A and B are shown apart, each in its own frame.
Chain A
């Protein structure tokens, strides 16, 4: 170690080494965290084969895996996953967009806050799933009602975080902007928006999480395709392997989408001094 430090005095070299260390640390952590699920799956498989669990209630992991592979081979997997991802994505986009616009207006203008915020807060106190029957009544059981449903779910966390992000910008930094004679527009783009970005990104991530929750609800109440529809099919055809396969796919895709947002967040906020990575 010491010898190496002497032979490579470059600071940047040290930095890449640190980064490599962090990476191997991450791999080790992932391995450590993977032990328990792996053991559980093996026990599950063994007990299923020993017919401790009845197959019509809890099929073996290998059966579930072959169900997923089977769906992938006949192509139905891709259309189910595709339509679900499309719904979440569309709802997420619409919900966040509306939330950003309203959140910015409320965050920037005190008057707008007094006018808009009480109403929005009142709507927030309605459990979002209670809208389901109304949306179906208004828009039918096609795509619009589902996407709207998801958008409503995404809206609130993004809205709340945008408002608090903008309202919480350090007054001292704004003062620096004033000292350099920035006009209102420059102040917004150069100080307020960058300062509010961390909170906004947090909102996007929790919004996406809710989006996944709401797509299940939307697809459960009536769909002819999608992962949520597979849940219903599994229930009606008494095939638990389809239900569990669908749950696993939800988990994997949901985690994947969150991971993408997390990478975007880390890229955008690389300047932050954070002790804990979330």
Chain B
């Protein structure tokens, strides 16, 4: 298993945000964590990333207990979080510790992959929202992570840019076979991208159901099968009660 969670929970000052999460992801699987706001899905992702070490239970990445930031994990935040004083290329190579020449070569390669081959000398202020998020994706990919953690990575983008970047993510996945955990509140996004969708609900958040999408990719965005699954998901989210 690339990723395994056993009875994971997180409590902040006596307030339980999320509890009893059991979850596993095979190599190359894309798992979606879906839920309404406040159900603890981002909290869970931060625990997996190692940024938040005070979780309860057990999280294992490639069999290794997560007790801090793991080199094998990459993180894409909701905002690009680029360093404004670095150029696009310098931002991308930020996490690399190899020699300068190698770094740049690798950075350029990844930038070409995300479609920004000719923007390496720009500064973040000169980028559009979609370009900035592409740079953030490149920065996360440059260390070749085995597990990529994504925290609502496209939620701040317009609908068209969002679709382009979702396709970009799938291209990357096809090429590198990266395991991904995607936190989202966008049901269509989860259905388009994920192999399996884990639905969290309530305060404290708990897993209420797991849906296997199992459709071959690329999935037509308007297909009836996905629409059926969307109905199921809406039912299990039970928005009327919450």
Contact B123 A271 (CB under 8 A): yes
Q: Known: A181-B69, A181-B71. Is A176-B81 also a contact (CB below 8 A)?
A: yes
Contact B69 A179 (CB under 8 A): yes
CB distance from A165 to the nearest CB of B (A): 13
Q: Interface size on B (CB < 8 Å)?
A: 19
Q: In the docked arrangement, what's the CA distance between A35 and B87, Å?
A: 42
Q: In the docked arrangement, what's the CA distance between A46 and B207, Å?
A: 88
Q: Does B51 have its Cβ within 8 Å of any Cβ on chain A?
A: yes
How many residue-residue contacts, CB under 8 A, span A and B? 44
Contact B69 A172 (CB under 8 A): no
Q: Interface size on A (CB < 8 Å)?
A: 16
Q: Does B77 have its Cβ within 8 Å of any Cβ on chain A?
A: yes
Contact A173 B123 (CB under 8 A): no
Contact A179 B75 (CB under 8 A): yes
Question: What are the interface flags for A179-213 relative to B under an 8 Å C-beta threshold, 1 for contact and 0 otherwise?
Answer: 11100000000110011010000000000000000
Contact A180 B123 (CB under 8 A): no
Q: Does B220 have its Cβ within 8 Å of any Cβ on chain A?
A: no
Q: Does B217 have its Cβ within 8 Å of any Cβ on chain A?
A: no
Q: In the docked arrangement, what's the CA distance between A176 and B142, Å?
A: 14
Contact A194 B69 (CB under 8 A): no
Contact A173 B81 (CB under 8 A): yes
Q: In the docked arrangement, what's the CA distance between A178 and B83, Å?
A: 14
Q: Known: A179-B69, A180-B95. Is A172-B77 also a contact (CB below 8 A)?
A: yes
Q: In the docked arrangement, what's the CA distance between A172 and B125, Å?
A: 17
Q: In the docked arrangement, what's the CA distance between A176 and B79, Å?
A: 11
Contact B51 A180 (CB under 8 A): no
8 A Cβ contacts from A240-278 to B: 271-273
- Chain A residues within 8 Å of B123, by CB: 271
- Chain B residues within 8 Å of A51, by CB: none
Q: Does B57 have its Cβ within 8 Å of any Cβ on chain A?
A: no
**Chain B minimum-CB-distance residue to A270:** B123
CB distance from B212 to the nearest CB of A (A): 30
- Chain A residues within 8 Å of B51, by CB: 175, 178-179
Q: In the docked arrangement, what's the CA distance between A273 and B94, Å?
A: 21
**Chain A minimum-CB-distance residue to B87:** A271
**Chain A minimum-CB-distance residue to B73:** A179
**Chain A minimum-CB-distance residue to B126:** A273
Instruction: Please give the residue numbers on chain B whose beta carbons come within 8 Å of chain A beta carbons, in ascending order.
Output: 49, 51, 69, 71, 74-75, 77, 79, 81, 83-86, 94-95, 123-125, 143
Ordered nearest first, which 4 A-B pairs have the shortest CB separation?
Answer: A273-B125, A180-B95, A271-B123, A194-B85
